[in-house]
Structure formats: structure tokens, C-alpha cells
């Protein structure tokens, strides 16, 4: 996490290099899939997914994979 406060909870495996790549390391991005599952909140008792799909293409294989990994718990705001 950018400020390191949640490192004990999530470790380093949920982050990845941003647009600058590993060489520049100027920005921070979360991974959306970790250990074969959608990244989830660990401190909330219901462990909801940390990812939300803003807009999704109907029939998209990527969206279907994410929905399957999350047991259809991902929130999708708009289908098109």
C-alpha cells in the first residue's frame, strides 16, 4: 500500500508496477486477481471484492472470468 499501513495484512503480492514500469517506480497499481481469486477486503467480515467493474461489454470473456472467480460478487455498474 502506498503508505505501508496495510502491508502486514496484504503483503507485497497485491501491488504491481504502474505505467512507468518497475524501473521508474513512480506510481502504484493494485492487482485485481491474486492467488487465482479476485482481490478482496481482508479486514471486513464479509470479505467483499475490492474490484468493481464500471462498464462491461456483454459476452466479454474477461468479464465472465472475473465474475466466475468472484462467485458473481463483483459489482457491475453498467453493461453495454
Domain boundaries, given as residue ranges, for the chain: 1-31, 33-80
- Tens of pLDDT, residue by residue over 1-53, are 556 787 888 887 777 766 665 666 566 677 777 777 888 888 889 888 877 77
Helix (H) or strand (E) holding 37: strand 37-38
pLDDT of res. 27: 67
pLDDT of res. 49: 84
Residue 79 has pLDDT above 70, yes or no: yes
pLDDT band at 71 (very low <50, low <70, confident <90, very high): confident
- β-partners of residue 42 are none
pLDDT of res. 22: 60
Amino acid at each position: 500500500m502506498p503508505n505501508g499501513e496495510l502491508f502486514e495484512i496484504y503483503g507485497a503480492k497485491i501491488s504491481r508496477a504502474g505505467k512507468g514500469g518497475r524501473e521508474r517506480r513512480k506510481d502504484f497499481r493494485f492487482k485485481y486477481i491474486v492467488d487465482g481469486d479476485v482481490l478482496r477486503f481482508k479486514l471486513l467480515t464479509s470479505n467483499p471484492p475490492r474490484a468493481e467493474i464500471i462498464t462491461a461489454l456483454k459476452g466479454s470473456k474477461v468479464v465472465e472470468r472475473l465474475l466466475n472467480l468472484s462467485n458473481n460478487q463483483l459489482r457491475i455498474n453498467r453493461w453495454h
